[in-house]
Amino acid sequence: MTRHIHDWDTDIVYLSDKLEVFFKDFCHRLIEKFGEMGIEYGIINGTKDIWCRDYMPIQIQDKLFVGYDYNPDYLNDEPAYPHIKRLSHLKGKDLRTIQRDLWQNNQFPYKLNDSKIVLDGGNVVICDKYVVLTDKVYVENGCETDAEKASLKQTLSDYFGGLIPVIIPWKPYGDDVFGHSDGMIKFQRRDWDYKPYALISPLTKKDTATQFEALGKEFYLDIISVPENLRAPGFYKYAWAYINYLQVGNKILVPAFNLPSDVYVKDLIQKYNPGCLVDNIEMREIAECGGALHCITWNIKK
Three-class SS of 1-49: CCCCCCHHHCCEEEEECHHHHHCHHHHHHHHHHHHHHCCCEEEECCCCC
From the list 201, 195, 207, the residue with the least C-alpha distance to 245 is 201
pTM: 0.93
The string of pLDDT tens digits covering residues 2-24 is 578 999 999 999 999 999 999 99
The Cα-based distances of 159 to 36, 59, 127, 136, 262 in angstroms read 37, 11, 16, 18, 38
Contacts for 46 with CB less than 8 Å, ≥ 6 apart? 17, 97, 101, 102, 105, 106
Please answer whether residues 51 and 93 qualify as being in contact, where contact means their C-beta atoms are separated by less than 8 angstroms: no
Domains assigned to the chain: 7-39+60-300 (3.75.10.10)
The string of pLDDT tens digits covering residues 163-214 is 999 998 887 766 567 889 898 889 998 766 668 888 887 665 556 777 778 8
The string of pLDDT tens digits covering residues 263-290 is 999 999 999 999 999 999 999 999 999 8
Query: Bridge-partner residues for 167, per DSSP?
Result: 133
Using a pLDDT cut of 70, give the percent of the chain over it: 95
Please answer whether residues 277 and 37 qualify as being in contact, where contact means their C-beta atoms are separated by less than 8 angstroms: yes
Torsion of CA 256, 257, 261, 262, to 10 degrees: 20
Sign of CA pseudo-dihedral 90, 91, 94, 98: positive
